[in-house]
Amino acid sequence: MTSRYDSVFVSSLGHSGSTLLDFLVGTGGHSVSLGEWKCVWQRPRAEVTAQTCSCGASALDCPFWGVLIPRLPEGRSRGPANDVLHDTFAELFPGRIMVDSSKDANHLIEHVDRRRTLVLHVSKDVRSWTCRWMDRPNRAGKRKGGLTLMREWHRRETAAVSRTRGMVDGTDWMQILYDDLVLGIEAEAERINRRAGVDLIDTSVPFTSGEHHILYGNSMKGRTDGRIRYDARWLGRSDWLVPYLLLPRVRRYNEVLRRGEAPGQGD
């Protein structure tokens, strides 16, 4: 069986399940998960080399990053850095599918220009996403309120969907809901595998069992038990309720996602 794609790009807002999906797409043995590549070439070199890869090795001892990082050009030039990425990946993993969870559409174009790319846009229920971010202070030490966050979720979600869908053919874009990915993994895996033309996801093995070299992602990259856990913290809270009721437009969009009626979701 031959894949229709040479790369998979995971698009999402922060804390929406992109690292989990990145790991899962590597379990079928056809791809290699690289986490948020954008951070590797954007961050200071000293910070990057201080990271520990999800494979367990330090960045410079990793069989992938240890080869790639010394080849990176000085400075933060996107084009040359991406040339190094694609050349090194092809050299070390011939015939494999590259998985990049850089999230932002600005980084998708580098894949689309070089490879046939499947975009998986993963979204989190606005109530869960809002609770997650209400608990995180910004750089000034302040926390955003529920109304502000729900409006931000809607604005950024719709923009991300519009931009990423517009950069690839319609059949090369899929909407994934975090809840479905965790609570209905068998059906979601079948849907993704059918679109890809190969079994990207193998649900019979731990989600960390594939080949992965993730330097940047959430704390999940250090997990070794391979168990998928649903982020249910929002279910025990009520501080999302009033903002949710006060924002009918946000509520309608969220319900469309939950019912599986968004474009790219019901196939």
16 assigned to some structural domain: yes
For 122-176, write each residue's pLDDT tens digit: 999 999 999 999 988 777 778 899 999 999 999 999 999 999 999 998 889 999 9
Establish if 136 belongs to a structural domain.
Answer: no
227 pLDDT exceeds 80? Answer: no
Chain mean pLDDT for the chain: 91
Q: Percentage of the chain with pLDDT > 90?
A: 77
pLDDT of 224 above 70 = no
Contact criterion met (CB below 8 Å) for 92 and 64: yes
Cβ atoms within 10 A of the Cβ of 173, count?
Answer: 22
Q: Among candidates 130, 184, 123, which has minimal Cα distance to 158? A: 123
As for how many domains the chain has, the answer is: 1
- Residue 201 in any domain: the answer is yes
Domain residue limits at 21: 7-126+168-231
pTM of the model: 0.93
Q: How far apart are CA 52 and CA 102, in angstroms?
A: 18
**What's the pLDDT score for residue 223?**
60
Q: What is the pLDDT of residue 229?
A: 86
Any idea which of 23-32, 37-46, 222-231 has the lowest mean pLDDT?
222-231
**Is 241 part of a structural domain of the chain?**
no
Q: What is the pLDDT of residue 130?
A: 97
For the chain, percent of residues with pLDDT exceeding 70: 96
Q: What is the CATH number of the domain that holds 177?
A: 3.40.50.300
pLDDT of residue 110: 82
| pLDDT score for 16 | 93
Q: Which residues are CB-neighbours of 236 under 8 A, at least 6 positions away?
A: none
CB 8 within 8 A of CB 117: yes
Q: Is residue 66 part of a domain?
A: yes
Residue 71 lies inside a defined structural domain of this protein: yes
Q: Is the pLDDT of residue 1 over 70?
A: no
In a domain, residue 44? The reply is yes
CA–CA gap between residue 18 and residue 33 (Å, rounded): 11
pLDDT digits (tens, 9 = 90+) for 80-131: 999 999 999 999 999 999 999 999 888 898 888 888 999 999 999 999 999 9
Cα–Cα distances (Å) from 117 to 9, 170, 194, 241, 253, in that order, read 7, 12, 15, 38, 26
Q: Cα separations (Å) of 184 from 58, 203, 262?
A: 34, 11, 17
Residue 95 lies inside a defined structural domain of this protein: yes
